[in-house]
Chain A
Amino acid sequence: MANIYVANRQIVKPGDLLAEGDDAIAGSYTYKVGGKVYGTVIGLAEVKENAVSIIPLEGVVVPREGDLVIGVVVGVGVTNWFIDIRAPYKAVLNAGEAIEQFNPLTDDIRKYFDIGDYVLAKVLIFDRSRGPILTTKAKGLGKIVEGLVIDVKPSRVPRIVGKRKTMVEALTSLTNCSMTVAVNGRIWIKCPNSLLEDIVIRAIRKIESEAHIPGLTDRIRRFIEDEKRRAGIP
Chain B
Amino acid sequence: MSGRPTLIGEDGLRHDNRRPDELRSIKMEVGVLKNADGSALVEFGNTKVIAAVYGPREPPAKYMLSPEKAIVRCRYHMAPFSTAERKSPAPSRREIELSKVIREALESAIFTELFPRSAIDIFIEVLQADGGTRTAGLTAASLALADAGIPMRDLIAAVAVGKIDGVIVLDIDELEDEYGEADMPVGMMPSLNQVVLLQLNGVMTREEFDAAMNLAVKGIFEVYRLQKEALSKKYMLYIEE
Contacts and interface: CB of A to CB of B under 8 A. Distances in A.
A41 B111 CA distance: 11
Nearest to B147: A58
A230 B46 CA distance: 51
Contacts of A62: 115
B226 interface: no
A40 B148 contact: no
A57 interface: yes
Contacts of B116: 128-129
Interface in B9-24: none
A11 B238 contact: no
A41 B151 contact: yes
Nearest to A44: B235
Interface residues of A, number: 29
A14 B152 contact: yes
A31 interface: yes
Contacts of A58: 37-38, 146-149
Interface string B107-135: 00001000111110000000000000000
B102 interface: no
A59 B115 contact: no
A33 B148 CA distance: 24
B154 A14 contact: yes
Interface in A95-127: none
B206 to A, nearest CB: 29
A89 B118 contact: yes
A42 B238 contact: no
A41 B235 contact: no
Given A40-B111, A129-B67, A212-B238, A56 B191 contact: no
Given A33-B192, A212-B238, A88 B148 contact: no
Contact of B58 (A31, A88, A128): A88
A88 to B, nearest CB: 4
B232 interface: yes
14 contacts: A11-B235, A15-B191, A29-B151, A38-B191, A38-B192, A40-B152, A56-B149, A58-B38, A58-B146, A59-B148, A59-B149, A59-B151, A60-B55, A88-B118
Given A90-B58, A128-B116, 13 more contacts: A13-B231, A14-B151, A14-B152, A14-B154, A15-B154, A31-B153, A40-B111, A40-B152, A58-B147, A62-B115, A88-B56, A88-B117, A212-B238
